[in-house]
Amino acid sequence: MPRLRRISIFVWALRAFVSASGQRRRGTEGVADGFLKATAMVARDATLAATVAAAMALVSTQTAAGAETYIRDTEIEADIQAMMAPIWKVAGLDPNALHIYLIQDKQLNAFVAGGQNEFINTGVILRAKTPNQLIGVLAHETGHISGGHLTRFQEAARNASIEGIIAMVVGAAASVAGRGSGGGAAMLPAEGVAERAFLQYSVGQEAAADQAALSFLDRSGQSARGLLEFFQILQGEELLSGIRQDPYVRSHPLTSQRIEYMRHHVERSRFSDALDSQANIDLLKRIKAKLDAFISTPSSTLAAYPEKDQSVVARYARAIAYYRIPQLDKALPVIDGLIRDFPKDPYFRELKGQMLFENGRIADAIPPYEEAIRLAPGAPLLRISLAQAYIESNDPAMNKRAIAHLNDALRTEDKETGAWRLLATAYGRDNQVGMAALALAEEGLSAGKKKVAQQQANRARALLPKNSTAYNRAENIQRQAGERDD
């Protein structure tokens, strides 16, 4: 089950920028080597730095949070989607159209951007004591989506890649923090974006999102207590330290009026004592164990989940810890045991595939990934992982299969720039040069690299049969890229 797929491209680009500018950056503890290895193939693309260059230019103070990492994980995303589905339904949104993105950061933050995308810091998840707290926070974010609340950030993020969105949030937040602490913060190049107001919702929008959240919670028979508790946690931290302000408060101004309104609702709503379902309690427990095992040091995971604890969650956490050490000889028996006990669970197989792939055992990694996809055919990230293993196997027949899986996955994951790059590689190896150029054009478009998108689309048009579907798509990309601002 567990396979955290950490996309490090953005982080690397950001780090490169920050160190090049001679600024100190925050430590990068907790970055698992395994992830870096897994994504090395896509991360080699140095030109990606250009993608987020504009936003990165903001990260120029000492407080710059330079090591933000964006995590993709099918299991955790699916679990949070399952928890949120009742809220999204009463909000009139299609649960399948919404995406959950995780950012590895201890600070409390959640935001929406680029359409129906809800971003949440791992700090919020790991500190959530109940599923209801997590659901409450995201219900509020859903209120911003359903209300169509526009800010300058929302405008700027409209066509940005996921990496670009995170870079903007990190950059703008860091610049505000830098000024707030008065630590001789450098003047920032993009004045407009650096302002606090860039990320901030208006008081009216905040009130509307709160009201929407309370209505969604009531209509789905859930308590608003969790959201109130989250506000109280934020308020407590504000009192402790005015400087160490959680990023959430900067974008969602927290007033005593908001808290009072929420408290009043909790006092009178007949759903305030509604309990979390056992299913949600179990999901959160597992999400937290998995995240923690991937983020904390393996030794602390092994201490938190000693051998005598034979629960599924503990075995899962230990398998991840051993693989991260890396002690494959210890990790494999644990994961094999879980697969034996839970043969229908795709994520245990995914983790096994990841363990083997990242240890260079490409051929061995393929069967577990194939099994995972058989069990979870609707999970595009699993297909991308399998495709990468197929490509690295250097077998032409496997390479053709990679093309099919990537095209399938990219129908819904078209913002995964790394997957477009993999597809270009697979087409290239299959001597489909025109299709490779088209995939690079798609990559450019999804990464916000207007020039690359146009150049590659141009190349694709020259190579592809006129008026074919692919040719028309290349024309389309050229037009779309042309309409974008630089």
Residue numbers at the binding site for Zn ion (CB under 5 A): 206, 209, 252
Going by DSSP bridges, is the β-strand pair 110-112/117-121 parallel, antiparallel, or unpaired? antiparallel
Nearer to Zn ion, 209 or 398 (CB): 209
Nearer to Zn ion, 252 or 288 (CB): 252
Nearer to Zn ion, 60 or 133 (CB): 133
Closest residue by Cα to residue 207 from 116, 140, 133 = 140
By beta-carbon distance, which residue lies closest to Zn ion?
252
Cβ 420 to Zn ion shortest distance, Å: 32
Cβ 102 to Zn ion shortest distance, Å: 19
Cβ 108 to Zn ion shortest distance, Å: 13
Helix, strand or coil, per DSSP, at residue 108: coil
Q: Are 137 and 227 in contact (CB under 8 A)?
A: yes
Continuous segment of H or E residues that includes residue 231: helix 225-240
Tokens for 355, please give them. 């363990």
How many residues belong to the chain? 486
Cβ 215 to Zn ion shortest distance, Å: 15
Nearer to Zn ion, 207 or 274 (CB): 207
Nearer to Zn ion, 85 or 208 (CB): 208
Nearer to Zn ion, 46 or 203 (CB): 203
Nearer to Zn ion, 9 or 227 (CB): 227
- Report how far Cα 9 is from the mean position of its chain's Cα atoms: 13
Alpha-carbon distance 323 to 332, whole Å? 8
Phi (first) and psi of residue 379, to 5 degrees = -105, 95
Burial 154-163 (b: 16+ CB within 10 A, else e): bebbebbbbb
Cβ 235 to Zn ion shortest distance, Å: 15
Helix, strand or coil, per DSSP, at residue 237: helix
Cβ 152 to Zn ion shortest distance, Å: 15
Nearer to Zn ion, 206 or 218 (CB): 206
Tokens for 110, please give them. 């959640």
Cβ 118 to Zn ion shortest distance, Å: 12
Cβ 111 to Zn ion shortest distance, Å: 8
Alpha-carbon distance 429 to 140, whole Å? 47
Phi (first) and psi of residue 71, to 5 degrees = -110, 130
Alpha-carbon distance 108 to 121, whole Å? 6
In this structure, what DSSP letter does residue 38 have? Answer: H
